[in-house]
């Protein structure tokens, strides 16, 4: 069964894996236009991984209790 979309959006490793698979596919391609397109897809997956990392960091920052200044 597929994972819910919201959870996939927050898994950087999922997107990094997709990027690696896309690069592996591009390496096997002979036609330069298709190879370039596949590498563009891989770059998009890398961008999704960065977005996931940012979402995680923002969520962690919101869940951290604010520290109080010294009295």
**Average pLDDT over every residue of 59-64:** 79
For the cut 80, the answer to whether the pLDDT of residue 53 exceeds it is yes
Residue 13 sits at the vertex; the CA angle it makes with 8 and 10, to the nearest 5 degrees, is 35
- Please report the pLDDT score of residue 58 as a whole number: 86
Q: For tokens 């999704």, what's the residue?
A: 48
Percent helix, strand, coil in the chain, to 5, is 75, 0, 25
Checking if the pLDDT of 10 tops 80, the result is: yes
Tell me: pLDDT of 30 over 70: yes
How many other C-beta atoms are found inside a 10 Å radius of the C-beta of residue 16?
18
- pLDDT tens for each residue of 31-51: 999 999 999 999 999 999 999
Give the pLDDT band (50/70/90) at residue 19: very high
């Amino acid at each position: 069964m597929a994972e819910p979309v919201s959870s996939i959006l927050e898994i950087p490793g999922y997107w990094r894996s997709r990027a690696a698979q896309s690069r592996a596919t591009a390496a096997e391609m002979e036609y330069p236009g298709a190879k370039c397109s596949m590498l563009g897809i891989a770059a998009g997956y890398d961008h999704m991984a960065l977005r996931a990392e940012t979402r995680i960091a923002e969520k962690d920052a919101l869940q951290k209790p604010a520290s109080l200044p010294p009295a």
